[in-house]
Chains A and B, each alone.
Chain A
């Protein structure tokens, strides 16, 4: 069965600092990996998606993630945190080639300190 593990339920960074949110996956087949963001009282918004076209995936709002098969990781990074980045971030893997169903990690809450 496919699964994802997000290390750290809460990450706090200073404004302007590097953002690093960790995600490790477990999959018996090449996975389709996703990062979603959820702002308070809102649904999920896709940040980026890995589909084996390139190991470094660039997303919206300056985020990017690198797929590392040897480490089974798909960590999310952003060079400089902004106050508006404060939200909950979810890593997800799909069980098949489509978008659903998605298996989500438990989420990481990102706080940005001024």
Chain B
């Protein structure tokens, strides 16, 4: 069974640009969450999608957005990139996000903003 797949693995952008990251969850998983990991702030929750609807949202500015497609694949978009957006962006999936389920993480997309 394939794991959570994130593409691309590495990305370099410049300030002011926008970027789209992709996440393909494990087959059968309908809940997809996104986390940002930085050396200074650690791991912070961005948002969760379930059945194409945003179910939870973290405390990030509106420049960060996401969506989920009918096949459960998810994308997150960051507009008007800032240097502080440089981070490892992790995607995680689970069947429905219930307490008895295990959360599976992808290897992440390393975004560098120059």
Find out whether the CB atom of B33 lies under 8 angstroms from the CB atom of A41: no
Contact B105–A97 (Cβ < 8 Å): no
A114 nearest CB across to chain B (Å): 27
Residues 44-63 of chain B, each 1 if its beta carbon lies under 8 Å from chain A, else 0: 11001000000010100000
Q: Kindly specify which of B68-76, B79-87, B95-103 makes contact with the partner chain.
A: B95-103
Q: Which of B16-35 contact A (CB under 8 A)?
A: 31, 33, 35
Chain B's closest residue to A106 (CB) is B42
Answer whether A46 and B99 are a contact pair too, CB < 8 Å, given A100-B48, A101-B33, A106-B42.
no
Q: Which A residues touch B43, using CB under 8 A?
A: 44, 90, 92, 102, 104, 107
Given A97-B99, A101-B58, do A43 and B106 touch, yes or no (CB 8 Å)? yes
Q: Which of B31, B42, B103 contacts A104 (CB 8 A)?
A: B42
Using known A-B contacts A46-B103, A90-B43, A105-B42, determine if residue A100 contacts B31 with beta carbons closer than 8 Å. yes
A98-B99, A100-B45, A101-B33 given as contacts; is B105 within 8 A of A41 (CB)? Answer: no
Does the CB pair A99–B105 fall under 8 Å?
no
Give chain A's interface residue range (CB within 8 Å of chain B). 20 to 34
- Whether A32 lies near B99 (C-beta < 8 A) is yes
Whole-angstrom distance between the Cβ of A102 and the nearest chain B Cβ: 6
**Distance of A27 Cα from B42 Cα, bound (Å):** 19
Is B108 interfacial (CB 8 A cutoff)? Answer: yes
A42 contacts partner chain B, Cβ-Cβ < 8 Å: yes
A45, CB-defined interface residue at 8 Å: yes
- Which chain A residues numbered 9 to 23 have a C-beta less than 8 Å away from chain B? none
Interface residue ranges, B against A (CB under 8 Å): 4, 31, 33, 35, 42-45, 48, 56, 58, 90, 92, 94, 97-103, 105-108
Known: A104-B44, A106-B42. 6 other contacts (CB 8 A): A43-B92, A44-B105, A45-B105, A104-B43, A107-B42, A107-B43
User: Can you list 16 A-B contacts (CB < 8 A)?
Assistant: A43-B4, A43-B92, A43-B105, A43-B107, A44-B43, A44-B90, A44-B105, A90-B43, A97-B98, A98-B99, A99-B103, A100-B33, A100-B56, A101-B48, A104-B44, A107-B43
